[in-house]
Every structure is written in structure tokens, then in C-alpha cells.
Structure 1
Amino acid sequence: MGKIAFLLAGQGSQYPGMAKEFFENIKEVHDFFGVAEAIRPGTLSQIICGTEEELKKTENTQPCVFLADIASVMALESEGIKADATAGFSLGEVVGLAVSKVMSKEDAFKLVCSRGKAMQKAAEETEGSMVAVLRMDRGELEQVCEETGVFPVNYNCPGQIVVSGKKEKIENLKNKLSEKKIRFVEIAVGGPFHTPYMSKATEHIKSVLQDQKTFNLNKSEIPLYANMNGRPYPENKADMAETLALQVSNSVRWEETIRNMIADGIDTFIECGPGKTLSGFVKRIAPEARIFNVSDMESLMKVKEALAV
């Protein structure tokens, strides 16, 4: 077997009750959720009992998905399964800071709470939405995006690119796609993420990361692949902060990330957190890879058995 990568789920994968089994069965998860609750009161109720509508609000989604992701990581580690590298999709990249030891889990959680609030505020200033466009030629889609004033932002896998922008412009795009008989799927998020409309959120993250007394960035213990370029994070602290801040207003190069990880010797991918979205992307990008997802005790035991840990 080659190397193992933990893939960390992002916004849009959330569902009520995610991570409940890990909270109830794994002491380390239970204890850390208590720490998170002290940092952000009300989070525990949201992740365990929150409604779909409550979880869709960005300032709630991000802390809750963070906890669901890190709970899966902690569950794997409790069974002796460790990552050789990691990558997170959008907010999942903040979880990756904790997995790679760039930040402590507590600091990464504080950062994702701040990030979520900043992105929620930016989203409220510009009403927007996102759609996944399926099986459309990349060049043609980018041309239509330019014509309609929206942005191709998530290059997920062959045959799927997510587009983001102002709501009225996304509606115009959808009409054009329907005319061309191109399929698209709405994404369960509350704003025009990974576009220039998030520039204020980028500036906010830059400013909070400048306070080294609040957030201390360390050299990663394992490679953390960045959304912006699909390459491992830089080692310089200023460059790390820049990469992290710019991520919210720039595209996610997920397909490129997975291909680079494979080129670097990764052959086993474990999706950590709610849903199986990232697993599906990897299957499209690298069908030869071993792919698992861990979101509850049953899936955890399946991975343990498969890896014979």
C-alpha cells in the first residue's frame, strides 16, 4: 500500500445529526466538542439537533462541518489510522490546518468561526448562489460565464464545474444552460463563495491571522494541499496566511489537487466528514485509487477492516 490522504468535506455536505455517533462513542471527540461548545456556545445543539435550514446559514454551517470533519479524523486516529497528507474542500482546508498541525484544533476551530461570520456578512451584502454544471465543455462554460457575469469557481472533477455569482446572474446562466440542454444542480450554500464578492472576507482573515498572539501558524507535519493551486502549503508563515486568506475569494482546484497527490504517491483516500461528495470526485478523477468515507461508526469499522489496522 502507498500513502493515505484524509480528504475533508466542505460546505454543502452538511445534514442534521452529523457526527452524533462519534460524539456518543469516542471520548476524544466528546471532549473536543465540549471545548468547541465553550468557544462558541450553541454549536453542539446545532450539529446534533440543528435543522437543515439552520445548518444552511454559513456562520452555522462552517463550525458544524468543521466539527463533523475533525470528529471523523479523530475517530480514525483513535483506531491507529494516520494520514500521510491531507486536503480539504473550501472550509475543509481549515480542518486541514489542524490535521497537518499547522494550527491546534482549538485555534483552527476559532478561525473557522471567524471565517464563517466574515463570509456570512459578505454573502448578505451580495445575494448570490452556486450551481454545479455537469458534462459541459470547460472552454464553452467559461465563455458562457464571462458572457453572463458569473464565475467558474470549483473545478471538481471531469464533467463537473461549480459556478458562483450574483443570484440574478446565476438565474440568467441557468436559462442559458437550459437552452443548451446542459444539466446543472443547485448547491446548498448561502452565497457567491470563491468569487471577488468575498474580498472583504479575505481581508478579514488576513487581519486576524496577522495577530500571532491569537493564531500561531506552524510548519506542517504532513503536506496540506492548497485549494488555490493544488500544491502543498508554503512553509513561510506570511505566505501560509496569504494562501489561507485568498482561498475564500478564489477558485478551488480540486481535480488538480487530487492529481498532484497521486503523483506524490497517494493511492488511498479517506473522506472525513458528512456525505460522499469528495469520494465521488476522486472516483471520476482516479478510478484506480482506493477510496473510503468515514462519517459514522459503521463506516469507521469498514475502513479499519479494509486497511487491516
Structure 2
Amino acid sequence: MNDEGFFISRPGSQRVGMGGELFTKYSAMTQQANHILGYDIAELCLYDPDKKLGQTKFTQPALYVVDALNYHAQIEKEKSEPSCLAGHSLGEYVALYAAGVYDFDTGLRLVNERASLMSEVGGGGMAAITQITVDALLEILRVGEGLDNLDVANYNSPTQTVVSGDLEQLKKLSTMLREHGAQYYPLRVSAAFHSRYMRDAESRFSHFAQTIHFRAPNRPVIANLTGQPYPSDSDAIRGTLTQQISNPVRWVDTIQYMLDAGISAFEELGPGNVLSKLVEGIRQSPKQQPLSQQRVSHKRVTEWSPEKTLAAWASENQKQPSPKEQCILLCPGIGGQYFLMGRKLYENSGVFRQAFDRCSTLSEPLLGESLSLLVYSPLDPNATLSRTLHSHLANFAFGYSMIEHLRHQGIDPPVWWAGV
């Protein structure tokens, strides 16, 4: 081990000819990939005769294979292994493979399923935004009229952010950004990746991932979802990897964590050097509080119900508690449930969403449908969760997820009270 971090490329870095002689050098792994995918991976990467390399369904498996082979080649060359790993978006799957979380075949099956599901999502787009700070961009997205269907997909550097969502709203955003001197670059993608539009694909991928046992990483792998090391528990790894599909890539937090941990050198694996340039930009910028660690202030709360937004909840509880003050949370009972309750939390809090989706997975055999999709993607937003089974499970999932979210924020009251 050395004080070096490896990071692995992301979709968009693929090009015809990638992999080169690696397919011959690692012929056994290449043949394994051919068997799993059902096509010649070397032919796709080296020649792309049918012009499929740019399609998500083929891009992701191709990059996974090439990056995995690159990793083995780099280890053989350097005669040592990195002390820390990270991957941007798809690259995270290679980082987990390199850390021993699963074998090459399992990783490729996961990637192939992910690619297949994501390729079925149509519509939407993405754009890279530069020459504007993250805070300034987030403020535009917050107050800009007609931008409510846009999400941040990648926090790539202090002055480069990728936005994902509705195509018409992306056009509106580009006009607003010009007024602020920012640069807008539309990306050539088929859908709005790392956004709310990927939730159905994420839910279906979660079911597939249930069949996989994940081993604890043998070295830190910094997660896109949190900007923190992956957990060691199999279920927690599964949840973190699954939620990455519809959540933003926190690349700034990831690299900053590695820098703070004493990583002195970075090696980019895979085609291109885009990530290396992003790392230099992060190095040279003043250190900021990681987005994944920004928290609401600890407030003394009198009541919480799903009707209240986080902003309303915070504004009603301005008084800062002394160390001796107790926080008593009141959870709603039957009759307090409704479609889209806690939507902002589900969209913005990875901890809340992971907890709710865990409840959804466990309850699906009873409901015969996904609780997450039922609550947060309803066909009729004006309807109510009136059936007893649905209302009980929805209220429990909301309450459990809220508790997990608040504990993650450092709020763990000694007293809880719930309605019937």
C-alpha cells in the first residue's frame, strides 16, 4: 500500500480503440466478459462496427471491462496497490471490484443490469455548467421560475456542476446562466442520469442487487453518494450503490476527503484525463464544508408532521437548545399520511431515501407493489393512502426514515411520542 489514490473514469470517456492490447493480455477476463454480455467486448471497444459504443447499454459494460483491465495492468506495473479508491459514477463499480467487494463477473453483471435499466429511461438531458460557483447555481435553481424539474447530477469541481432534467427547463436555465456570465455545455446523453428520473430504474436495480452478497472493502472506497468511505455491511453497501443511480455524484467531497486523509498522489485509470483536471481544480480551490456534511442546526422541536417542509420546521424552532434541553418528537398516526409526504426529504436526503426504500423492499411481498413508487410517484397526487395496509406501512416507513435522517443530522432525542 502507498499514499496514492486511484480514481476510475466515468461514462463519456469512452472512445473507439480503448483497451488496446489489454484484451489479449487478459484474455481469460475478456472471455468471461464475452460470455456474460453475449457479444465480443474487444470488437466493440476496438472497432465499434455497429456504432453502439455511445449507447448507454453498451457504454457502461465496456468501460467497466476496460477500467478493470487497466487496474490490473497498473498494479502489475507499479508493484503496489493504492491505499484508497474512488470512481466517478460507473467508475465506482470498478473501485468496489478493486477493493474486493465482489469478483469481476459479479461486478459486470451488476453493471450490465444497471446499463440495461438506465437505457430504458427516455427523455430529459444533462448539461455541464462552468464559471459559476455551486452556491450561486443552486440559488438560481431554487428561485428561478420554471426550473423545478431540474436536479444537480454531478458536483464535479467548485466551478463545474452538471445539471440533469427536463430538456425545456434546461434551455431556460441556459438563458438565465448567460446573464450571470456562466458557461453552459449540453451533454450528448439519452436521458437525465443521476436525477429523480432514474428512480424507477433504481428501484428495479435494487431488486436485482438483492441477489448479491457484498463483502467489506479491503481498503477505503469513497462513495459518490456521501463523499465518505463505503460501509462494511453488505446491506449498507447495496443501499449506497443502488441510491447512486438517482443521486448526485459528490466528486468534490470525494476528492476533498482523500486529500484530508493524506492521499498525496492520484492516478486516473481509463480513457482520458478529465478527472485529473477536476482534481487539480479541487486542490487549488479554498476548502469548503462538504455538501454531504452540511446539516441543519439542532433545534428544539415541538412537533413534526409530514405536512411541514424542512424550512417551515426550522423556522418554527429558532431557539438554539442548551445542552440540558430535551427534544421531543411527535410522529403522526393514522390519518396523517398522504401521497408525496416527505417528498423533499426523499429527493434530497440520501439517508432518508435509503431508509424508506429499505422499508419498501421489505413490504413489497405484502403490497404487491413498490411503496416508494406508490408514495413518491403516484398516478393521482390528490388521492389518499386510505387502505389500512398501505397507510400503516407508509406511516411506519415515513417515521422510521425520519428518525434515521434526524439521527444522521446529530438529532437523537431521549423522548419520542407517536399518535395511534
TM-score by length of 2: 0.64
Name the aligned partner's letter for residue 4 of structure 2: I
In the TM superposition, residue 130 of structure 1 has moved relative to its aligned partner by: 1.1
Contact 2:131 2:181 in 1 (8 A): no
Q: Tell me which residue corresponds to 1:219.
A: 216
Which residue of 1 is the match for residue 55 of structure 2?
57
Corresponding residue for residue 293 of structure 1:
none
Structure 2 unmatched ranges of 5 or more: 286-420
Equivalent residues in 2 for 1:91-106 (5 A)? 91-106=90-105
Return 5+ residue gaps in structure 1 as ranges. 289-309
Decide which structure has greater helix share: 1
Say which SS state the counterpart of residue 15 (structure 1) adopts.
Answer: coil
Aligned to 1:164: 164
The letter for the 2-side match of 1:130 is M
1:179-194 → structure 2 map (5 Å cutoff)? 179-194=179-194
> Corresponding residue for 1:140?
136
> What amino acid is the match of 2:223?
A
Distance in 2, Cα, partners of 1:239 & 1:272? 26
**1:1-309 → structure 2 map (5 Å cutoff):** 3-24=3-24, 27=25, 29-42=26-39, 43-50=41-48, 54-79=52-77, 80-122=79-121, 124=122, 127-146=123-142, 147=144, 148-149=147-148, 150-211=150-211, 215-286=212-283
- CA distance in structure 1 between the partners assigned to 2:203 and 2:272 by the alignment: 31
**SS of residue matched to 1:152:** strand
Question: Aligned partners of 1:160 and 1:77: how far apart in 2?
Answer: 31
Deviations 1:172-223 (A, max 9, x none): 2122223443212233332101111100121122111111xxx221011111
Hey, what's the Cα distance between the residues in 2 that align with 1:78 and 1:4? 15
Contact kept, 8 Å, 2:157 with 2:251, in 1: the verdict is: yes
Summarize deviations over 1:108-134 as a string: whole Å, max 9, x none: 011000000111112x2xx11111110
Deviation at 1:51, TM superposition (A): 6.4
Return the alpha-carbon distance in structure 1 between the equivalents of residues 83 and 54 of structure 2: 32
RMSD: 1.9
Shift of 1:82: 1.3
Q: Give the superposition deviation at 1:243.
A: 0.3
Distance in 1 (CA, whole Å) between partners of 2:227 and 2:85 is 11
Provide closer, same or farther for how the CA distance between residues 254 and 51 of structure 1 changes in structure 2, counting only shifts above 3 A: farther
| Alpha-carbon contact 2:214-2:234 (below 8 Å) kept | yes
Distance in 2 (alpha carbons) for counterparts of 1:53 and 1:235: 40
Identity of aligned residues (%): 30
1: CA distance, partners of 2:75 / 2:134: 39
Count residues with an aligned counterpart: 279
Matched-pair contact (CA < 8 Å) for 2:60–2:115: yes
Distance across 1 between alignment mates of 2:184 and 2:4? 32
CA contact (8 A) 2:133 2:158 kept: no
Q: Which amino acid aligns with 1:188?
A: R
Greater relative contact order structure (CA < 8 Å, 6+ sep): 1
- 1:189, 1:178 → 2: CA distance? 22
Computing the radius of gyration from Cα coordinates, the structure with the larger value is: 2
Cα displacement string for residues 126-148 of structure 1 (whole angstroms, at most 9, x for unaligned residues): x1111111011322211222331
After superposition, give the CA deviation of every residue in 1:126-171 in whole Å (9 maximum; x if it has no partner).
x111111101132221122233131122111121111111222212
